[in-house]
């Protein structure tokens, strides 16, 4: 069964500082990987996705993530955080094979930004 | 509208009541998913439709939960005899494709259900 671990429950950074949110996954084959952001009272917005190809993927709002198969990781990065980035971030893994196509999510990392 | 919409946005039910939650996917989207998000947790899969066919309902927690998508568009998640542990945000997501490409999902704002 596929699973996702986000080791950091809560991270606080200063505005303008760099950011890295960690994500480790467990999946038997090549995974489909996603990062979503959720603001309070809102649904999930897709930041970026990895299906295949280049292991460094660019997303919206200046975010990027790198797929490292050897480490089973898909960490999210941003070089300079803005106050509006404060939200909860979810990493998710999807199946690339036949059968169910659900996403399996981590428990999320809450990001706080200090002005 | 341009995105997935859900109604109601908030629902308060007394324990034992039945509730129905509606999802309007993005027009033309083939796949539709329901997830349950408990407080402080990530979303957890409930069920998956491809057009009107319910292909996976392995995540439904009990036989009190029932979902349908009779015409392959709007979907309804029904919970019978609600219990306090059913309190959560229920998220609907749709995808333009079926199969493995259904992984790319677009989420609605959710319905927050509170069972008293």
pLDDT at A56: 95
Tokens at residue A6, please? 């986000």
Q: What is the dihedral sign for C-alpha A33, A7, A3, B102?
A: negative
pLDDT at A95: 75
| Residue B103 pLDDT greater than 60, yes or no | yes
Closest chain B residue to A4 measured between Cα atoms? B42
The tens digit of pLDDT for each residue in B4-48 reads: 999 999 999 999 999 999 999 999 999 999 999 999 899 999 999
Q: Do B42 and A97 touch (CB under 8 A)?
A: no
Cβ atoms of A14 and A114 within 8 Å: the answer is yes
> Could you give the C-alpha distances from B21 to B24, B76, B110, in angstroms and in order?
10, 5, 10
Name the band, by pLDDT with cuts 50, 70 and 90, for residue A102: confident
Closest chain A residue to B100 measured between Cα atoms? A96
pLDDT at A62: 96
The tens digit of pLDDT for each residue in A61-82 reads: 999 999 999 999 999 999 999 9
pLDDT at A28: 73
Torsion of CA A64, A70, A71, A77, to 10 degrees: -10
Measured distance between the N- and C-terminal CA atoms of chain B, rounded to whole angstroms: 33
Nearest Cα of chain A lies from the Cα of B91 at a distance, in angstroms, of 7
| Residue A1 pLDDT greater than 90, yes or no | no
Distance between CA atoms of B24 and B92, rounded to whole angstroms? 8
The tens digit of pLDDT for each residue in B75-94 reads: 999 999 999 999 999 999 99
User: How many other C-beta atoms are found inside a 10 Å radius of the C-beta of residue B15?
Assistant: 11
Distance between CA atoms of A74 and A68, rounded to whole angstroms? 6
Tokens at residue A13, please? 């950074």
- The residue-averaged pLDDT of A32-58 equals 91
More confident residue, A95 or A74: A74
Distance between CA atoms of A107 and A7, rounded to whole angstroms? 9
Q: Do A95 and B103 touch (CB under 8 A)?
A: yes
B114 Cβ under 8 Å from any chain A Cβ: no
pLDDT at B13: 97
DSSP 3-state assignment of A69?
Answer: helix
DSSP state of A40: T
DSSP state of A80: S
pLDDT at A31: 85
Nearest Cα of chain A lies from the Cα of B102 at a distance, in angstroms, of 6
Tokens at residue B11, please? 């629902």
| Residue A96 pLDDT greater than 70, yes or no | no
Return all residues near A54 (Cβ < 8 A) that are at least 6 apart: none
Name the band, by pLDDT with cuts 50, 70 and 90, for residue B99: confident
Q: Do B43 and A106 touch (CB under 8 A)?
A: no
Q: Write the residue in A46, A102, A105 that is nearest to B42 by C-beta.
A: A105
Distance between CA atoms of B35 and B29, rounded to whole angstroms? 17
pLDDT at A98: 65
The tens digit of pLDDT for each residue in B36-77 reads: 999 989 999 999 999 999 999 999 999 999 999 999 999 999
Closest chain A residue to B39 measured between Cα atoms? A107
| Residue A50 pLDDT greater than 80, yes or no | yes
Distance between CA atoms of B26 and B96, rounded to whole angstroms? 8
- The residue-averaged pLDDT of A17-23 equals 97
């Amino acid at each position: 069964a596929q699973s996702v671990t986000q080791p950091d429950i809560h991270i606080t950074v200063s505005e303008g500082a760099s950011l890295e949110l960690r994500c480790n996954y467990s999946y038997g084959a090549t995974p489909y990987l996603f990062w979503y952001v959720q603001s309070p009272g809102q649904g999930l917005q897709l930041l970026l996705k990895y299906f295949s190809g280049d292991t460094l993927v660019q997303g919206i709002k200046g975010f990027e993530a790198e797929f490292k198969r050897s480490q089973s990781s898909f960490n999210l990065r941003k070089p300079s955080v803005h106050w509006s980035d404060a939200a909860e971030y979810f990493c998710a893994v999807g199946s690339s094979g036949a059968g169910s196509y659900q996403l399996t999510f981590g428990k999320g990392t809450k990001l706080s930004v200090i002005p | 509208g341009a995105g997935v919409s859900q109604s109601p946005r908030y629902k308060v039910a007394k324990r034992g009541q039945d509730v129905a939650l509606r999802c309007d996917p993005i027009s033309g989207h083939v796949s539709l998913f329901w997830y349950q998000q408990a407080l402080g947790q990530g979303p957890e899969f409930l069920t998956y439709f491809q057009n009107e066919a319910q292909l996976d309902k392995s995540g439904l927690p009990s036989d009190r939960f029932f979902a349908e998508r009779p015409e392959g568009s709007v979907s309804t998640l029904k919970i019978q005899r609600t219990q306090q542990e059913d309190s959560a945000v229920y998220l609907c997501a749709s995808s333009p494709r079926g199969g493995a490409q259904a992984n790319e999902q677009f989420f609605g704002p959710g319905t927050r259900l509170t069972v008293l």
